[in-house]
Amino acid sequence: MTNSQKILSQIDQKFGTSVAGKFEAIRFQYYDYVRLPVGGTNRLTFFSNPIGAVDPTSGLAKTLEETNIRRSGELDERFAIMQVRTTIDVLPIKRQPAAIAALTRAAVQDLTTTHQALRNLNFQGVLSVNFGQKNFIQIEQPFQTCPPGYGPSIRTISGSAASGTFPPISQYATQSVDPRDVYIMDPSIFVEKGQTFGATIDFYMNNSVTLPVVTGSDKAAVNIGVILDGYVIRPVQ
């Protein structure tokens, strides 16, 4: 049985029956990225600022690159959650503060201490996803347990001898990009269209990591993302 057939069968179980041929299940993701406060925080909140709203930390309006939520804390369509993913993303150099973007080695050596801090972030936090007033998902150390399962994998890079000297070692924090490592919801969670929901990552023992200064007084810009991967259920066109 395909995943699409499993989802339609789930509709049958929930509502008693569905009209064959009238619905289709389409692979889809609801995602939201928020800026990590450089001084640390005890909570990150997701899916509360839709497209066009301002991220309270970055001060920038969110675009389709940061979220595909069009109404705060509300799903546009019936949705079956099959996987939960998280991401820790250091923004591209051109989107870093001007002083960092101007550094010729920023992509390698100058961000080493930032990635060392983000490695520690991998072992922090509890992800909670609520629908209505009920908690449906709670995952400890979500960056370890719910990696993105895609993207580049960059490990520690060490320099070679040049003119009798060794350049500094550069380090990159990375989550697993193996698609077999993603957190799978079994059974899947079926959510109604218009259902209110939200997600948080809480740091209970201490705040999240404090990002180090890269140059001058500037610290790196880092986005944290939560992705709910699954199937939307739509009427057949």
DSSP states along 47-93: SSS-TTSBPTTT--B--TTTB--SSTTB-SSEEEEEEEEEEEEEPPG
**Distance separating alpha carbons of residues 210 and 219, to the nearest angstrom:** 10
Structure confidence at residue 133 (pLDDT): 85
Structure confidence at residue 132 (pLDDT): 87
Note the pLDDT tens digit of each residue in 72-125: 999 888 899 999 999 999 998 889 999 998 887 766 678 888 988 998 999 999
Structure confidence at residue 181 (pLDDT): 82
Structure confidence at residue 229 (pLDDT): 94
Per-residue pLDDT tens listing for the chain (237 residues): 566 556 656 655 654 445 556 778 889 999 999 999 999 999 999 999 999 999 999 999 999 999 999 999 998 888 999 999 999 999 988 899 999 988 877 666 788 889 889 989 999 999 999 998 899 999 999 999 999 888 766 555 555 545 455 555 565 667 777 777 889 988 889 888 888 999 999 999 889 999 999 998 999 999 999 999 999 988 776
Note the pLDDT tens digit of each residue in 114-133: 988 998 999 999 999 999 88
The tokens of 59 are what? 């001060």
Contacts of 90-98 with C-beta under 8 Å, sequence gap 24+, read 90/114, 90/115, 90/118, 90/220, 90/221, 90/222, 91/220, 91/221, 91/222, 91/223, 95/221, 96/218, 96/220, 96/221, 97/218, 97/219, 97/221, 98/218
CA distances in angstroms from 136 to 81, 120, 133, 230, listed in the order given: 11, 27, 10, 15
Structure confidence at residue 22 (pLDDT): 75
**Distance separating alpha carbons of residues 175 and 181, to the nearest angstrom:** 10
